[in-house]
Homo-oligomer: A and B are copies of this chain.
Amino acid sequence: MSELSDHPISASRRRFLESAIAGGIAATSLAGDALAEIGKGTENLPPKIPEWMKTPGDPVGSQLYGTPSQFEKHVVRNVPKNAAQMISASSRAPLQDLDGIITPNGVFYERHHGGIPNIDPEQHRLILHGLVEKPLIFTMEDIRQFPSQSRIYFLECSGNPTYTKPYGKTASDLVGLVSCAEWTGVSLKLVLQEAGLKPEAKWIVAEGADAAAMTRSIPIEKCLDDAMLVYSQNGERLRPQQGYPLRVFLPGFEGNMSVKWLRRLKVTAEPAYSREETSKYTDLMADGSSREFTFYMEAKSIITRPSGEQRLSAPGFHEITGIAWSGHGKISRVDISVDEGKSWQEAQLQDPVLTRALTRFRFPWRWDGKPVVIQSRATDETGYVQPTLAQLIAVRGENSFYHNNAIWPWRIAANGEVTNAQV
C-alpha cells in the first residue's frame, strides 16, 4: 500500500514548524513598529452580517464564460482619446491595476494596422513558399497536428513609449503596450523542416490576413531558433485581437514582427523592405541615418504601484512593485531609487524568472510622508542596464520615435498623490 498511502508532512518539516510556533508567533508589525500597523482593533465586533450572506447567490454556470466583478469595471483596455479606429491604432493594458506577470487576455494590449479581422478558422490557410524544396499549404487542423510547445513570453510594441511628448499620466499611458502570456503553438523550425529550406534562404517574409496585409521580414536565424507559430494564449485559443487563429511569435522582438492572422510565409534571400520596416519602426538618428531591423526590445522596467494617478493613503509601510523585461533574456536584477536616482537598492524578483517574460519585482519601503521621486532600473542577463531618458537621447538624438526604454520616475507629493516626474 506504500504507493497509495497518504503523505504526512515530513518529520523534519514538522519539527521546523512546531519550533516556529512553540511559543506562539509574537505580534510583530512589518517594520518593527507599534502593533497592528495594518488593520484595526476589533472593538466594534461583531460587524453586521452583510446582505450577500442572507440569500443564495447566483447559481453555478450563470456565466458559462465568466467576466470580472461589476466592481472592477474600470479595469479595461486604455484607448487613447480619438484613437479608436481601425487604421494604425492601439490600446494599452491597465498595468497599474494588474498583479503578477500574466496579463489576462481580456485586457492584453492591442496594436492593429487595418482593424481586427473576424477569421473563420475552417477557411483559414497558411502558405509556406519561396526558397523551399516543396511549397506547402496548411489548414489549422494541419498546424494543430504538429508537436506543440508552451512558453511564457512578453510581447511589446516598439513604441512603448514613443519619444514624443506629452508623456502619459499613468503606467498604462506610458508603457501599457506590453503584456505577457503563456503561448502555445509549434516551433517554426519544425514547420520549415517539412518544406525544406534552400541554401540561399536568409529571410522569411510573414504576411497577415488583415486588411493591411501586415508584412514583416524575419531573419532566418530567428526562424530557426525560438520562433513559434502560435494558436493559443493563456490556455485558450488566441483572441481575434491577438491574431486568431494563427500568428507568428518572435520572443523578445518588437511586437509588430510577430505578425497576426498569419496567412503567408515566403522564404527569401533579401528582406521585403515593407512599409512597416522602412517608413515605420525605424529610428532616425541625429546624423540623419536610420536604425532599421533593430529587432530586439531592450531591457526596461516600470513601477506599477505606486504609480501615476494613484495616491498613498498615509505615511508608513508601502510596497513598491512593478514589472521588468528584456528581449535579450532573463532579468538579472532590478534596483529601486527613492531619492531621485542618487542611490539604488536591489529589489526582490518573483520566481520563476523566465527568459523574455515579464518579471515582477518588489521592494519594501517606509514612506516618511515627505515629497519623493521613486524609480526602477532593470539589468538583464547580458549585463545591459536600463538607461535614463537623458542618456538615451544623448545617443539617439531628438528625432527618434520608437525604442524608448528609459527609466521612468514617479513623483510622490506630501499629500500622497503620484504623478509622472518626467514631463
Contacts and interface: CB of A to CB of B under 8 A. Distances in A.
Nearest to A316: B145
A114 B56 contact: yes
A100 B232 contact: yes
Given A142-B38, A384-B3, A392-B4, A20 B224 contact: yes
Interface in A137-186: 137-138, 141-142, 145-150, 181-184
A239 B100 contact: no
A244 B213 CA distance: 42
A27 B236 contact: no
**In the complex, the 3 A-B pairs of residues with the closest C-beta atoms, listed nearest first:** A27-B196, A57-B115, A61-B79
Number of copies: 2
Interface stretch (A90-98, A331-339, A411-419): A90-98
A21 B192 CA distance: 11
A395 interface: yes
Given A47-B127, A104-B234, A115-B56, A68 B68 contact: no
Contacts of A190: 30
Nearest to A62: B116
Contacts of A360: 150
Contact of A63 (B18, B224, B241, B319): B241
Interface in A21-72: 21-30, 35-42, 44-47, 50, 52-72
8 contacts: A6-B291, A25-B197, A27-B196, A56-B211, A63-B106, A69-B245, A98-B232, A148-B321
A87 B354 CA distance: 42
Nearest to A22: B199
Interface in A89-130: 89-91, 97-108, 110-112, 114-121, 123-125, 127-129
Contacts of A14: 221
A98 to B, nearest CB: 5
Contacts of A97: 236
Given A45-B127, A56-B86, A134 B35 contact: yes
Contacts of A21: 197, 199, 201, 220-221, 224
A239 B352 contact: no
Given A36-B136, A103-B235, A114 B66 contact: no
A271 to B, nearest CB: 16
A358 to B, nearest CB: 10
A47 B125 contact: yes
Interface in A236-285: 236-241, 244-245, 261, 263
A25 B115 contact: no
B148 A110 contact: no
Given A26-B133, A45-B137, A59-B89, 20 more contacts: A7-B298, A24-B198, A25-B193, A25-B197, A35-B194, A38-B138, A47-B137, A52-B118, A53-B117, A58-B86, A61-B77, A64-B91, A69-B238, A72-B236, A75-B236, A75-B237, A99-B231, A100-B234, A107-B236, A352-B354
Contacts of A115: 56-60
A74 to B, nearest CB: 10
A216 B189 CA distance: 51
A108 B66 contact: yes
A335 B57 CA distance: 43
Q: Which of A110, A194, A328 has the most CB of B within 10 A?
A: A194
B100 A235 contact: yes
A60 B89 contact: yes
Contacts of A211: 52-57
A59 B364 CA distance: 41
